[in-house]
Each structure stands twice: as structure tokens, then as C-alpha cells.
Amino acid sequence: MSKKVLLSSKEIQIILHRLACQLLENHVDFKDTVLIGLQPRGVFLAKRLTNLLREDYNVKEINLGSLDITFYRDDFRRGEKTLEASKTQIDFLVEDKKVVFIDDVLYTGRSIRSALTAIQSFGRPAEIELLTLIDRRFSRHLPIQPNYRGRQVDAINGEKVQVLWEENDGQDIVYLINE
Amino acid sequence: MSELSVKHLLGIKYLNKNDIDLIFETADHFKEVINRSIKKVPSLRDITIANIFFENSTRTKLSFELAEKRLSADVINFSASQSSVKKGETLIDTVNNILSMKVDMVVMRHPNPGACVFLSKHVNASIINAGDGAHEHPTQALLDSYSIREKLGEVSGKNVVIVGDILHSRVALSNILALKLQGANVKVCGPKTLIPKHIESLGVTVETDLRKALNWCDVANMLRVQNERMDISYFPSTREYTQQFGVNKALLESLDKEIVIMHPGPINRGVEITSDVADSNQSIILGQVENGVAIRMAVIYLLASKIK
């Protein structure tokens, strides 16, 4: 197994600022916008961006939620293990809002497909966008592309992208792992 | 530890503590789902479940059916009163005929103890016991413990008294097993004639004085007197039973502390508990019913994920 650093802590920091600015450019005051972190790993990124927007860019009110897609996945009973759920916390209506899904890695696009179904349980959004830190090019199973991307990488099938966050894993770093 | 240790839910007897924790954690997620405006998830859209009821039921059957539908499973219902069982068909034949229509899971209630265990050895489907005679009723015990956990924070260390017809009650046995597994202290209380011999071997204590039992407990689970299972008279009259083992408002208010009142239903109002107790703030009876759907969704989801 070999491990290569894709993004260092400093690079992640710069990218987070850029993503925050891009969100700001499209959503201005976030009045009709809600950010939804996808469980389990997208939630860290969503919280980071929300904090950044609040503290460094002075956006006063941002609706942040987390969405668990376990019960909406299309691979139930196909794997060996029982799929374990995480918490969904959406304390607001998404009806007629602009929803931004936030996830760490975009790979096959199947989680996003599940999220698109799952969010319907909370209303009919005006539009849905997608933000991902890492976009794995050429590996999509579905016609899904991000609106905001941190870094695009060409990873082949045997490789894995691992995103670590300081609050959960001790440091901010993104690895490309070859198994 | 993210899957159940069993393929069927035949009784609490076959579960371990980890299984119960996993079911409760999964039920937490489903409780959030059933409180959304759209209460349905598509997880089990390729699973077909047969609800086979050889004995009457309203609450349990509705609760299972709702849980199945909220998980998007296909559901078929069958009750013995309108079936070929009356024409002499055996249990295995009946179930195998249903399974040959490509059914993945069977939820069964049967008047004979052990019917589900027997079936699980002879047919190729995941079986959930929805009550077998006076033996076990595992989903009821799980939802009871889940309701205690929700109300009091945890089950471990709590004092629970089960009052009433212990002898004929599958709810009592499953509850005792589930509560002991989670580290609660359990007492049973009722007329001597309705308490089985050697029940102490399950690790519970026996009390025949209701007031003493209520003063000791945090939670009182009131059971119904099961007249339909009684072939002889176990107590002189319903009136006398109510006087000695019925809970009323005056009795509750005379206790040192506020206890939680539970009842698995159906309630005989005025017999084991009075209406004002059943409808009081101390009663979590309707909460139990809501939790029943979440618990059954969790059990079905976890078992279905083991069907390959």
C-alpha cells in the first residue's frame, strides 16, 4: 500500500476560502439557501465552510443541516455488511430553497443520486447544487457533476481518496492511497 | 458490531446485548424518519413480507404492516380465519406455499409456543415472531425497553415491576429477558395463582403486595388479564382482582415518587388500570405504540439486510 499526499493542510485552507467565495458569489446573503452536509464525511466540510462564511465573510444567517442517505442507497443487501445509518438533522423546510449538497469526495455519483431522493422527504427545493472537495474524474456511474469543486483528480479504480479533518482525525490532509 | 447475530427474531432469548443496542440505535433513526412529513424510505423496495396471523391482533398487525410499508416493502396479509388452515393444511405447507410466491420474510403470530422456532428450522425465509402463545413477544419487549430508555435515559439499573397475569403472558417473559439483559432490576407482582412456579430462576423477585411493589419501582408495566387463555378460575372475581392489583389515581398519588406507567394493550379500563391513570401524564402507553413502529422498522431493516 502506498500513500501520496494530494492536498496539504495549507492547500485545503486556501481551497476552503475559494469555495466559500464561490458560494458567496452565487448566493450573496444566503437568505434562500440551505447547506446540507452529507453524512458521514461531508458534514465536516459543511461545518468548516459554514464557520468560514460566518466568521471571515460576515454572513449572519446560514441554514446548515446534515442528511443521512443510508435508507435511500441502491446497494442495500448487495454488500456483505449491514449499512449503518447516521443522524439526519434538518430543522428547516427546504421547500423553494436553493439547496447545496456538500460532500468530501465525488466518485461514482451514487451517493448524490441517493441524496437527491432523500431530500424530497423534506420538501421540493427550488434548485440543488453540489459542492465537493475532491472530484474523481472519469469514474462516474451516473450523469452527475459538481457545481463547485476543490480539486479534480484522476484516480484509477484500485486507488482510494481519503480526506481527513482536524476535528475528527487530528489533521487536515487528503491522501491518494494505492492498495 | 454493525449487524445482528441472528437471522430470525424468534425471541429475546436468542439475542445478546449488542443486538439490542443496535436495534435501539437503528430505531432512533427510524423514529426521526416517521416524524417527517414524508414518512417513507425506499430501503426495502425489493423485499416482500408476509404477515401471517393465526391469532387475533390489531395493534401488532397494524404496527408491523405500517413499519413494512414505511420501509417500502411489498406486503401480503394472511389471517387463519379465512384460509385453508381450516381445511386441514399443516403449518409448514401453508408457509411453504406462501414462500413459493417469492416471499423473503415472514412475520408470524401463532397460538402455540415455539411455532416460530419450529418454522425457522423447516422453511427458507427470515422469521419474525409476533407472539407465540404464552411464550415470547420479542418486538413488544424491545419497544417497552426502548420506551423506558427514551423516558428515563437508560434501562440499566432501573427498577421495573411487571404487574398482572404473568402466567399467561408472552409479554412478561420477553420483557423479563430483555430487561435483565440490559441490567435492570425486575419484580413481578400479581395473584399467586398467576405467577409461574420457579420464576425466580429468571433472576426476578416476586411480590404479592401491589403497594410495596409500586413504592419500589421506577416503572410499572401493567398487563392485561388474559381471560381467553384461562381454562379455570385463577382468582375469585374481576372485582377482587381490581381491588388488589388494579392501579388507580389515589394509589399512584399516595406513592413516595412519580413512577412511569406502561401497558402493552389492549387495556381493560377499570380492571388493571383506571381511565384517569391510563390517560395521565405518567402514562407512556401511546408513546409505546409510536415506538412500536420505529422498533419494528429497525428489526425488519436489520434482518432484511442479511437476506442475500
Counted residue by residue, chain B has a size of 308
CB contact under 8 A, A85 and B29: yes
pLDDT tier, A141 (very low <50, low <70, confident <90, very high otherwise): very high
Q: Report pLDDT digits (tens) over B241-300.
A: 999 999 999 999 999 899 999 999 899 999 999 999 999 999 999 999 999 999 999 999
ipTM, two decimals: 0.74
| Alpha-helical regions (H) of chain B | 17-34, 59-70, 91-99, 115-122, 138-152, 170-181, 210-216, 238-245, 249-253, 275-278, 285-304
- Rounded to whole angstroms, the Cα distance separating B142 from B75 reads 23
Residues on chain B touching A83 (C-beta within 8 angstroms): 305
Residue of A nearest to B44 (CA): A76
- Rounded to whole angstroms, the Cα distance separating B254 from B80 reads 47
Residues 6+ apart with CB under 8 A from A172: A9, A12, A13, A164, A165, A166
- Nearest C-alpha of chain A: how many angstroms from B137? 24
pLDDT of residue B179: 97
Mutate to test the interface with B, among A69, A81, A83, A84 (most CBs of B within 10 A): A84
Question: Nine-digit cell at A9?
Answer: 493542510
Residues on chain B touching A71 (C-beta within 8 angstroms): 29, 33, 41-43, 71, 301
What Å distances lie between residue A43 and A74, A78, A163, B13, B56, CA to CA? 21, 26, 12, 39, 47
CB pairs under 8 A between A and B: 53
Of A36-45, A87-96, B179-188, minimum mean pLDDT range: A87-96
Percentage of the residues of chain A whose pLDDT score is greater than 90: 66
pLDDT of residue B84: 65
Listed residue (B15, B71, B120, B27) closest to A76, CA to CA: B71
Residues 6+ apart with CB under 8 A from B169: B134, B223, B226
- Rounded to whole angstroms, the Cα distance separating B265 from A74 reads 38
Supply the mean pLDDT for chain B: 92
B136 in Cβ contact with B10 (< 8 Å)? yes
CB contact under 8 A, B307 and A77: yes
Q: Which residue(s) pair with A177 in the sheet?
A: A3, A160
- Rounded to whole angstroms, the Cα distance separating A129 from A99 reads 6
pLDDT tier, B226 (very low <50, low <70, confident <90, very high otherwise): confident
Rg, Å, chain A Cα set: 16
Tell me the domain boundaries of chain A: 2-71+95-178
What Å distances lie between residue B238 and A9, B227, B233, CA to CA? 75, 10, 10
Question: What residues does CATH 3.40.50.1370 cover in chain B?
Answer: 12-137+289-304, 138-285
Listed residue (A59, A14, A20) closest to A148, CA to CA: A20
- Nearest C-alpha of chain A: how many angstroms from B98? 22
CB contact under 8 A, B33 and A71: yes
Q: Which residues of A touch B (CB under 8 A)?
A: 68, 70-73, 76-77, 81-88, 117, 120-123
What mean pLDDT comes out for the span B11-26? 96
- Return the CATH fold of B12-137+289-304: Rossmann fold (3.40.50)
Residues on chain B touching A85 (C-beta within 8 angstroms): 26, 29
Residue of A nearest to B304 (CA): A77
Q: Which residues of B touch A (CB under 8 A)?
A: 2-4, 26, 29, 32-33, 36-38, 40-44, 46, 71, 301-302, 304-308
Residues on chain B touching A123 (C-beta within 8 angstroms): 37
Q: Taking 80 as the threshold, does the pLDDT of residue B181 lie above it?
A: yes
For residue B205, which phi and psi values (nearest 5 degrees)?
-110, 160
CB contact under 8 A, A77 and B32: no
Give the position of cell 390489531. Answer: B58
Burial class of B175 by CB neighbour count within 10 A (0 to 12, 13 to 18, 19+):
buried
B257 in Cβ contact with B195 (< 8 Å)? no
Supply the mean pLDDT for chain A: 90
**Which one is predicted more confidently, A82 or B163?**
B163
Q: Report pLDDT digits (tens) over A58-68.
A: 898 899 999 99
Q: Domain spanning B138-285 has what CATH number? A: 3.40.50.1370
Question: What does pTM read for this prediction?
Answer: 0.87
Q: Domain spanning A2-71+95-178 has what CATH number? A: 3.40.50.2020
Mutate to test the interface with A, among B36, B46, B300 (most CBs of A within 10 A): B36
pLDDT tier, A79 (very low <50, low <70, confident <90, very high otherwise): low
- Rounded to whole angstroms, the Cα distance separating A169 from A172 reads 8
pLDDT of residue B235: 87
- Rounded to whole angstroms, the Cα distance separating B246 from B224 reads 10
Residue of A nearest to B303 (CA): A82
Q: Of the candidates B38, B41, B305, which has its C-beta nearest A82's C-beta? A: B305
- Rounded to whole angstroms, the Cα distance separating B73 from B68 reads 5
Strand, coil or helix: A34: strand
CB contact under 8 A, B42 and A117: yes
